[in-house]
């Protein structure tokens, strides 16, 4: 029987944890820190638009993760949404609060997420949704789990039987190639959901709660943690170029192939 990993530290020395144990610990601790800071009161600053914001909780959670990794994995590199960057043997990709607009608005769909890359190889991903106390973990030699329990294999289903999860920012509505690709895929699906946290959505795809995930020009920290969960739950991922955009797909193989075809217009 595989060891149950819940993110609760068994040893104060995180350098002796496995990568999976460390990732689970970091996202749980980041989520709990952000939750407490939201209760205490947040400082929020606009980044590029009214919906692209950062809070002091985002920054504090990222600083915490970077500090632990500097001690536990000093040879590894870091790529953080809030600006933390360091070269290294491998790279930890950090999203301390994914879905910050939801987070600061009091909506429950936000999480803390982390992925580990070894060159071009995606080693693992971890996502913790503090509002539901759900910790997702999946990677090489670690089938995707939810709160330590392995998920059942993801069923292969066609696009017209499942919900598609996507997003179109208001500033990009007039991008016809982007808009039309999304609309064709939405029209081919059973339903559509826009939740506002890529990693929350991808974790839901891994569990079969959502059907397929389709986004364009996704940033590394919004993609890699959840992509690992989907892949190691028996789903597949696809990244391709079309219409001047880089598209990201995840879900059951049949639905992923059909969604790609609708984007391209085949």
Given this model, what pLDDT does residue 1 score? 38
> What is the pLDDT of the chain when averaged over all its residues?
93
CB within 8 Å of 141: residues ≥ 6 apart:
none
Given this model, what pLDDT does residue 43 score? 85
Domains and CATH numbers, the chain: 14-150 (3.30.540.10), 159-264 (3.40.190.80)
Given this model, what pLDDT does residue 12 score? 44
In the predicted structure, residue 4 carries a pLDDT above the cut 70: no
Looking up tokens 């808009």 gives 179
| pLDDT confidence band for 249 (50 / 70 / 90) | very high
> Considering the entire predicted model, what is its pTM?
0.93
In the predicted structure, residue 208 carries a pLDDT above the cut 90: yes
Averaged pLDDT, 97-111: 95
In the predicted structure, residue 50 carries a pLDDT above the cut 70: no
Exposure of 50 by Cβ count < 10 A (0-12 exposed, 13-18 middle, 19+ buried)? exposed
Averaged pLDDT, 157-186: 95
Averaged pLDDT, 94-104: 95
Residue 236 is inside which H or E element, if any? strand 236-242
Q: Of 262, 117, 264, nearest to 192 (Cα)? A: 262
């Amino acid at each position: 029987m595989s060891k149950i990993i819940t993110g609760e530290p068994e040893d104060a020395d995180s350098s002796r944890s496995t990568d999976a144990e460390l990732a689970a610990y970091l996202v749980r601790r980041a989520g709990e820190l952000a939750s407490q800071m939201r209760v205490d009161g947040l400082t929020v600053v606009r980044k590029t638009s009214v919906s692209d914001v950062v809070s002091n909780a985002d920054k504090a959670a990222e600083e915490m993760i970077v500090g632990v990794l500097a001690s536990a994995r000093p040879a590894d590199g870091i790529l953080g949404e809030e600006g933390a960057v360091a070269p290294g043997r491998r790279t930890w990709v950090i999203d301390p609060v994914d879905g910050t607009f939801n987070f600061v608005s009091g909506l429950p769909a936000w999480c803390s997420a982390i992925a580990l890359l070894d060159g071009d190889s995606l080693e693992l991903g971890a996502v913790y949704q503090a509002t539901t106390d759900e910790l997702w973990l999946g990677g090489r030699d670690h089938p995707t789990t939810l709160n330590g329990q392995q998920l059942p294999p993801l069923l292969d289903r066609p696009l017209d039987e499942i919900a598609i999860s996507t997003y179109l920012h208001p500033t990009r509505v007039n991008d016809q190639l982007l808009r039309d690709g999304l609309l064709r895929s939405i029209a081919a699906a059973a339903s559509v959901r826009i939740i506002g946290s890529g990693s929350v959505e991808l974790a839901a795809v891994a569990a079969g709660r959502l059907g397929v995930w389709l986004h364009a020009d996704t940033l590394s920290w919004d993609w890699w943690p959840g992509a690992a969960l989907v892949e190691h739950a028996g789903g597949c991922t696809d990244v391709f170029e079309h219409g001047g955009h880089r598209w990201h797909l995840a879900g059951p193989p049949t639905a992923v192939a059909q969604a790609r075809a609708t984007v391209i217009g085949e």
